[in-house]
Amino acid sequence: MAASVQPLTHTVEETAKLFRLGRNRTYEAIAAGEIPSIRIGTRILVPRAALDLLLQNGAPGRGLGHANAEAA
C-alpha cells in the first residue's frame, strides 16, 4: 500500500480546522503574523513546515512557557 502524501501547504480553512479556530480568527492570526503564510496570487497558503515549527515552539511571546504580565 502506498503511503499517503501530505501536502506542503494548507489552505486557511484547513489551518483553521487543524488549530480548531474559526475562519475569521485564522485570517486575523495570519494578518498579525501569528501564523506564518505565503501569498500566491490571491491565495493565502500556510506552509506545513511552518505549522510544525509553530506547534513545536509556540507563537512568539504567547502560550505556555512564556512570561506573562502577571508574573512581572
φ/ψ of residue 14, rounded to 5: -65, -40
Asked, for residue 38, whether it belongs to a domain, the answer is yes
Predicted confidence at residue 58, as pLDDT, reads 77
Give the integer Cα–Cα distance in Å for 57 and 64. 10
Structural domain of 47:
9-58
Predicted confidence at residue 61, as pLDDT, reads 56
What are the tens digits of pLDDT across the range 14-59?
999 999 999 999 999 999 999 999 999 999 999 999 999 988 887 6
Instruction: Count Cβ atoms below 10 Å from residue 15 Cβ, excluding itself.
Output: 23
Give the integer Cα–Cα distance in Å for 28 and 35. 9
Asked, for residue 69, whether it belongs to a domain, the answer is no
- pTM of whole model > 0.85? no
Total domain count for the chain?
1
Asked, for residue 1, whether it belongs to a domain, the answer is no
Q: In terms of DSSP bridges, do strands 9-11 and 43-47 run parallel, antiparallel, or are they unpaired?
A: antiparallel
